Structure formats: structure tokens, C-alpha cells
């Protein structure tokens, strides 16, 4: 059985475990491919360098929505980012999107940075990894992150990608699927108390699921409180197989195929 961790940050400069040991441990548990995802210019550079040094590791370069106000007017940084797209083993752009949970960057700056990365993806025919997070508490802005995201997304043609770390409802799931996007599921599923999220996870078509960890974050049950590792993607796979009433090997085979098709990795 072969699994793919389609979203991890084991290349982080402050990742507290030895990445080589982490990869070996994951391989023992059947996790054979890894996608390191960048969030800043420097972090994306580290992801590219890490992927170049490791077999079965690829890189996605991205400017996280939190960084909108930092980069949106930094033309030198944006040019450096643009040049990085053609680096060896870069297979995606992201994570990018809109995050209204915190106020690290204004909504307008986030939107500008999102458009910049969408333009690059179209230019280079690369898939995208999307981060979309709503406001912290219900308010008049509830649902606005997805609404604002779609208002931008729908002005483009031919975009493909995944909504990473899905933890929303049936409505947003249907919006995602109607646009042909994949759904990234991770350890959140093992500890969420939100039944609507779990019901939505059941409804994701098998050919649209990607497995991920977001390591070092979102460690699944029963290892909450420890550093998340790519090997933990197997725990999420086992949980989802039981939740959805599917055979684990069938789920693994399908999600690996999905990752290979979206990111064009062997």
C-alpha cells in the first residue's frame, strides 16, 4: 500500500525533528511521496532546495494569505518568486488563498496576492494549493472568505488544484466540487467535533480526495500534543476508510492516483 502526503512543511527551518528520519519513518508506514509546501519567499526557496536533495519529494511554492501586506508591493520579492516557478521539482503553486480568521493582512492585499499567484499558475500550467479560512466567530462576515475567493476564482479559466485542510460544510464542499477541485483531508477529521464536517467528508467523491498532514501541525488522534509527521497520513487514511465504509487499500490506491494526476508526480 502506497500513500502520498500532499501537504507538509518538514522543510521548515524550525521543524523540530530530523527530516531524513521523518521520511524514513513515513516510508515504513507506507507513505512514499511527499509534497513540501511553501508559505513565504524564503520558505518556498527552502522547499525547492529540500525537494532537490530528496527522492520522492516535490515542492509547491506559495505566498500565504497572511503574507499579503508584506509582499503585495514588494516587486523584487515577487520577481524572485516568479523566477522560482521554473525550478526543478516545483509541481504546484501555493499555499495561496484568503484567510479571514486572523487580521495579519488586509483583505484587499490578500486578494491581490492571490491574483498574482493565479496568474502564475495559468502562465505555467501548474495546479494550485488553496488555503481558505473564515472569520473566527459567526458574524456578518461569516462565509465571506469562500464567497470572495469564488468571485476571484471564477474570473479565470482552466484553474485546477486542491482546497487544502478542508474543514467546512456540505455547501462549501459542493462549491469546491462544482469547480472540479480536489479536497485535502488531514488530521482534523480525527478530532473534530463538528458532525457537519464529518458528513461532508463522507460525501467527497473518492476520485477527488487528497490526503495530507500539514506537518508539523494538526497531529491526528491518538497523537495529539506531539509533532505531526508525514507518517501520520496513514492514521487519517484509516479514519476516513472507517468513516466512509471503504476498504483502506482502495482509499490509498485512489488518493495516490489523485495526487499523481493533479501534481503530475511519478
Which pTM was predicted? 0.96
> What's the mean pLDDT in 210-233?
98
Q: Alpha-carbon torsion 211, 39, 13, 48, what sign? A: positive
pLDDT tens-digit map of 44-83: 999 999 999 999 999 999 999 999 899 999 999 999 999 9
Report how far apart, in Å, the C-alpha atoms of 244 and of each of 199, 236, 258 are. Answer: 9, 12, 18
Q: Whose grid coordinates read 495559468?
A: 122
**For residues 12 and 46, is the Cβ–Cβ distance under 8 A?**
yes
Residue 13 pLDDT level (bands cut at 50, 70, 90): confident
Grid cell 487528497 in the structure block, residue:
210
CB 31 within 8 A of CB 5: yes
Task: Using only the alpha carbons of the chain, give its radius of gyration.
Answer: 17
Whether residue 161 is preceded by a cis peptide bond, meaning omega within 30 degrees of 0, is: no
Beta carbons of 60 and 38 less than 8 angstroms apart: yes
In percent, how much of the chain has pLDDT > 90? 91
Identify the three-state secondary structure at position 1.
Answer: coil
Residue-level pLDDT at 138:
58
- pLDDT score, position 102: 86
Contact 99, 110 (CB under 8 A): yes
Q: Which residues contact 174 (CB under 8 A, 6 or more apart)?
A: none
Whether the Cβ atoms of residue 216 and residue 12 lie closer than 8 Å to each other: yes
Q: What is d(CA 97, CA 11) in angstroms, rounded to the nearest whole number?
A: 21
Domains, the chain, in order of start with CATH, read 3-263 (3.20.20.140)
| Mean pLDDT over the full length of the chain | 95
**pLDDT tens-digit readout, 107-155:** 999 999 999 999 999 999 999 999 999 986 655 455 599 999 999 999 9
Task: Please check whether residue 48 is in contact with residue 73, taking contact to mean a CB–CB distance below 8 angstroms.
Answer: no
Amino acid at each position: 500500500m502506497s500513500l502520498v502526503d500532499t501537504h507538509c512543511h518538514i522543510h521548515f527551518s524550525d521543524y523540530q525533528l530530523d527530516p531524513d528520519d521523518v521520511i524514513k519513518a513515513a516510508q515504513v508506514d507506507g507513505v512514499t511521496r511527499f509534497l513540501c509546501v511553501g508559505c513565504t519567499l524564503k520558505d518556498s526557496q527552502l522547499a525547492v532546495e529540500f525537494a532537490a536533495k530528496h527522492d520522492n519529494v516535490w515542492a509547491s511554492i506559495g505566498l500565504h494569505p497572511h503574507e499579503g501586506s508584506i509582499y503585495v508591493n514588494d516587486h523584487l520579492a515577487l520577481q524572485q518568486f516568479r523566477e522560482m516557478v521554473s525550478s526543478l521539482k516545483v509541481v504546484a503553486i501555493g499555499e495561496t488563498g484568503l484567510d479571514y480568521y486572523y487580521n495579519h493582512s488586509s483583505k484587499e492585499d490578500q486578494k491581490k496576492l492571490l491574483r498574482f499567484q493565479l496568474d502564475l499558475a495559468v502562465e505555467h500550467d501548474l495546479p494550485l494549493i488553496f488555503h481558505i479560512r473564515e472569520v473566527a466567530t459567526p458574524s456578518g462576515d461569516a462565509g465571506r472568505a469562500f464567497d470572495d475567493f469564488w468571485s476571484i476564482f471564477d474570473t479565470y479559466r482552466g484553474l485546477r488544484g486542491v482546497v487544502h485542510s478542508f474543514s467546512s460544510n456540505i455547501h462549501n464542499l459542493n462549491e469546491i466540487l462544482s469547480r472540479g477541485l480536489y479536497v485535502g483531508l488531514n488530521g482534523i477529521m480525527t478530532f473534530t467535533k463538528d458532525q457537519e464536517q464529518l458528513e461532508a467528508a463522507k460525501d467527497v467523491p473518492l476520485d477527488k480526495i487528497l490526503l495530507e498532514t500539514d506537518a508539523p501541525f494538526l497531529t491526528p488522534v491518538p497523537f495529539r500534543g506531539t509533532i505531526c509527521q508525514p507518517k501520520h497520513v496513514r492514521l487519517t487514511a484509516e479514519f476516513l476508510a472507517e468513516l466512509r465504509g471503504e476498504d483502506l487499500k482502495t482509499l490509498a490506491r485512489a488518493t495516490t492516483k489523485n495526487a499523481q494526476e493533479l501534481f503530475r508526480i511519478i
